[in-house]
Amino acid sequence: MLLEIISPEKKIFQGEAKSVVVPAVDGSLGILDNHAPLISTLKKGIVEVSGADKNTFEINGGVVEVMKNKVIILAE
């Protein structure tokens, strides 16, 4: 799936991911290929991205949207 992490200043990450774990307001949310469409608010925490490499990104909150194997994180 395609993942984009965007902050108000710049695009932080864009690339393919096998799985993404985000700090949703109600707890951690794992996203895999063919995930059902969703929109959720995020709290301060770590976004974990697994793909060719494992990456982590610290965010101060934001919103995640999942649709048609594309994940967009609008991070603060």
- What fold does the segment set 2-75 form as a domain? ATP Synthase; domain 1 (2.60.15)
pLDDT in tens, the chain (76 residues): 999 999 999 999 999 999 999 999 999 999 999 999 999 999 999 999 998 889 999 999 999 999 999 999 999 9
Q: Do 28 and 43 meet the contact criterion of CB atoms below 8 Å apart?
A: no
| Residue 72 phi, psi dihedral angles, 5° rounding | -120, 125
pTM confidence score: 0.93
Assign residue 26 a region: left if phi > 0, alpha if psi is -120 to 50, beta otherwise?
alpha
